[in-house]
Amino acid sequence: MLELVVGCAAALVIGGLAWLTVATAATPEAADTSIRTFGTLMTILFGILSAIWWHQSARLCDRLLDRESDARQSQKDANTLNAAAATFTALAVFSGVFAGAPWQSTSSRLCGLGVLLLLTMSGDDIRRAVPISLRQRLTLREIIGLASLALVLVAFLWQLKR
């Protein structure tokens, strides 16, 4: 049940931000530009998260080769991060297509619906991957990725304010 709550919350947040992006636009042309920018930002966000989780998963698997202690838990954590990374890779692809499609088109609507459905179904991945990810010692690659996420958020908020 908690997985559904987390997934629905993630879908509601992303859907709400998309709605806010369109609702705050002054003209239909501005709405088209804003929603394309939002789709591009979501592509970046999901892509960076999936890259971080793929990288952390690989490091966990490398640790298994280095030592046998805690091997079972490390393998479970790596599998969890793999699942989350795969989900967010698919989200990045959907968002990329969404960003490139004309607003109000069938492909835009299908991709938007796909993102929301995938987020709804991925509550367990999100709920389990985030704590595992936060327990990992961050490498330079991950720090740069998280800094990029912060820049994406700032860019999105700046876009909304314009």
Q: Check residue 68 and give its pLDDT.
A: 60
- pTM, entire model: 0.65
Instruction: Tell me the backbone φ, ψ of residue 66, rounded to 5 degrees.
Output: -75, -35
Distance CA 31, CA 117 (A): 23
CA distance 65 to 78: 13
Residue type, 116: L
Which stretches in the chain have pLDDT values below 50? none
* Separation between Cα atoms, residue 73 and residue 10, nearest integer Å: 27
Chain mean pLDDT for the chain: 81
State residue 67's pLDDT score.
Answer: 63
